[in-house]
Amino acid sequence: MAGNYTLTIVKPDAFGANKAGKIIALLEDKGFSIVAARAMRMSKEQAGAFYEVHAARPFYGELVEFMTSGACMPIILRRDNAVSALRDAIGATDPAEAAEGTVRKLYAESKGRNAIHASDSDENAAREARFFFAECEWVK
Ligand code: CMP
């Protein structure tokens, strides 16, 4: 059964442009509730570890550079069918391909500077939530 939690990150491009509030409002309108949130600037070590699955990709260095370029906002969200509902709400990785009304259609600039992250499975949601919120009840 699909889980009720997922992890999102308002990335440095959107957070730095003061779009976090609008993005959170959009997600709340789609039925998500915030379980935990923090604003932080990731270190190179943290970003490198978080995106370790992409370490062999040509864009890995650029991704780590971008994710450490400013503050971001990791958020644990709750909703039924959370992982797929969030992926629907944020849209395709490339904003040029994202559907109307999605976060990336509205706020992303490019495949790299794409405003928001979403976990791609229940398993990764739990791992990613633990990465930022080790103290949170759900991830214990
Ligand atoms: P996200 O889903 O958060 O996790 C992997 C990230 O890699 C993805 O968002 C994009 O921001 C980034 N990414 C994917 N493809 C490219 C690309 N071609 N160039 C730069 N960044 C990319």
Enter the CATH code of domain 5-40+71-139: 3.30.70.141
- Going by alpha carbons, the residue nearest to atom 21 of ligand 1 is 112
With a 6 Å cutoff on the Cβ, whether 65 touches ligand 1 is no
Catalytic residue among 15, 72, 117, 125: 117
Q: Which of 84, 102, 117 is nearest to 5 (CA)?
A: 84
C-alpha 31/C-alpha 28 separation (Å) is 5
**pLDDT at residue 140 greater than cutoff 60:** no
- Identify whether 54 is a catalytic site residue: no
What is the best residue among 54, 111, 127 to mutate for testing ligand 1's pocket, by most ligand atoms within 8 Å of CB?
111
pLDDT by residue (tens digit) across 52-97? 999 999 999 999 999 999 999 999 999 999 999 999 999 999 999 9
Write down the domain spans for the chain: 5-40+71-139
Give me ligand 1 centre to Cα 94, in Å.
Answer: 8
pLDDT by residue (tens digit) across 120-136? 999 999 999 999 999 87
Give me ligand 1 centre to Cα 93, in Å.
Answer: 7
What is the best residue among 23, 42, 63 to mutate for testing ligand 1's pocket, by most ligand atoms within 8 Å of CB?
63
| pTM above threshold 0.85 | yes
Pairing of strands 73-78, 116-118: unpaired
Note the residue count of the chain: 140
CB-neighbour burial class of residue 1 (10 A; exposed 0-12, middle 13-18, buried 19+): exposed
Q: Which two tokens mark 15?
A: 């957070």
In the chain, which ranges are E strands?
5-10, 33-37, 73-78, 116-118
Give me ligand 1 centre to Cα 134, in Å.
Answer: 25
Most distant pair of Cα atoms in the chain: their distance: 38
